[in-house]
Amino acid sequence: FHRLLLRMTISNGWAFQWVENQETIEFFNFISPSLQLPSRKTLADTILKESAKNVQENIEVAAKEDKYGVSISLDGWKNVIKQHILGLVITRSDGQVLIWGAKDISGDR
């Protein structure tokens, strides 16, 4: 349930505080009175971190399962607040693209 709430939050571009909105609470109480929504802090911290960990593990498994090997691409850019970002993308032999991550390297010069 929590993973679905997180996905709904992110895909709709909602702030995490929506789960503490009175209308939201009333809506979920109407659907299922026994349902307990997490706090915005729990959603933004514990649930988000666990979900990110699971995504990273799935990416790692998908990359390791490629029997022909993978290609790694690095790219650098500046974001809107002028941070220097280095991104790493893994491409499997079947063409599937896996976003490994991006890191602020502004202080690494």
Are residues 14 and 26 located together in one domain of the fold?
Answer: yes
Closest CA to 1 of 34, 20, 15, 56: 34
Are residues 54 and 73 located together in one domain of the fold?
Answer: no
C-alpha span between 14 and 19 (Å, rounded): 10
Give the domain range for residue 108: 67-109
Are residues 34 and 15 located together in one domain of the fold?
Answer: yes
Closest CA to 60 of 103, 98, 12, 109: 98
| pLDDT the model gives residue 109 | 62
In order along its 109 residues, the chain shows pLDDT tens digits of 999 999 999 999 999 999 999 999 999 999 999 999 999 999 999 999 999 999 999 999 999 999 999 999 999 999 999 999 999 999 999 999 999 999 999 987 6
Are residues 45 and 73 located together in one domain of the fold?
Answer: no
Q: How many domains in the chain? A: 2
Are residues 56 and 17 located together in one domain of the fold?
Answer: yes
- Helices 48-64 & 2-12 angle (0-180, nearest 10): 90
